[in-house]
Amino acid sequence: MSEERVALITGSSTGIGAAVARRMAAAGLRVVVNSASSVKAGEELAAALPDAVYVQGDISDPADAAGLVDTAIERFGRLDILVNNAGRTRFIPLGDLEAADAAAWRDIFDVNVIGTWQMITAALPHLKASGSGSIVNISSVSGTRAMGSSIPYAVSKAAVDHMTRLLAATLGPGIRVNAVAPGLVDTPWYDEAQEVWEGSRDWITANTPQRRVGTPQDVAEAVYTVAHAAYTTGAVLMVDGGRHLV
């Protein structure tokens, strides 16, 4: 695999996205790191990688989405892999329908669905020019199971799963489109819902086949593998330690 290949990972200053950026860089890819707000963490990560650039941008803004891709091309001259990791949620109990108001739906869908779409459409010409472009969307086990941090979040991930399949059917053979669907992963996302997180951690450790929660590195390895699996497209890969089985 050529070391000239370039990967753009949205939402990659911390957590899963940062682990993906490190995994891609370790394999010799040049990397575009992104975040909407955590600028210092993004700049530090990019500086620590062999050949990377940090770009601040909110993918729900079409100009920012286009600017991310433009920066990748200006800096590196090509784009081979797009990882749509940037996401947003609100921790709302599934039974609290009143709290899951229209503002919550719009806030989550603007990033998770519309932002993902904007990144894909901005990147398409360059992924086609690559000759072997690959898109990996970060979904969630909640896209297929009746669970998750909120109903709007779970529905947004179901939309990402189906977007993945539709685009895989449409964009082949030049571009492959897959999704990775993590279960509970130990990331900063859960700091704001520690009580729920700890209860879920205990249940998963006791009941799932792998007997542990996931790490960002677990997901990053799956993303790297799917991004380079030349005969795989339209797949939604569960990375949840077997949570979907129980």
Q: Counting every residue, how long is the chain?
A: 246
Residues in the chain predicted with pLDDT less than 50, given as ranges, are 1-2
Could you say which DSSP state residue 91 is in? Answer: -
Report the Cα 32 to chain-centroid distance in Å.
14
Residue with tokens 């677990």: 218
Average pLDDT, the chain: 93
Q: Can you give the pLDDT at residue 189?
A: 65
Residues 114 and 160 sit within 8 Å (Cβ to Cβ) = no
Q: Would you say the pTM of this structure is higher than 0.85?
A: yes
The ranges assigned to domains in the chain are 6-188+216-240
Options 54, 153, 190, 224, the catalytic residue: 153
Residues 86 and 36 sit within 8 Å (Cβ to Cβ) = yes
Q: Which of 3.40.50.620, 3.40.50.720, 3.40.50.10090, 3.40.50.1000 is the CATH number of 6-188+216-240? A: 3.40.50.720
Give, for 66, the enclosing helix (H) or strand (E): helix 62-76
The structure tokens listed for 206 are 């006791």
Give, for 32, the enclosing helix (H) or strand (E): strand 30-35
Told to judge if 231 belongs to the known catalytic residues of this protein, a careful annotator would answer: no
Alpha carbon distance, N-terminus to C-terminus of the chain: 38
Q: Can you give the pLDDT at residue 125?
A: 97
- Cα four-point dihedral sign 101, 107, 113, 118: positive
Q: How far is CA 198 from CA 30, 138, 186, 191, 217, in A?
A: 36, 23, 10, 10, 20
Report the Cα 229 to chain-centroid distance in Å.
17
φ/ψ (deg, to 5) at 231: -115, 25
Q: Can you give the pLDDT at residue 175?
A: 98
- Most distant pair of Cα atoms in the chain: their distance: 52
Structure confidence by residue, pLDDT tens digits, 13-29? 999 999 999 999 999 99
Q: Can you give the pLDDT at residue 33?
A: 98
DSSP secondary structure letters along 104-149 = HHHHHHIIIIIIHHHHHHHHHHHHHHHSSEEEEEE--GGGTSS-SS
Q: Can the peptide bond before residue 173 be classed as cis, meaning omega within 30 degrees of 0?
A: yes
Residue 40 to residue 32: CA distance in whole angstroms? 15
Q: Can you give the pLDDT at residue 192?
A: 59
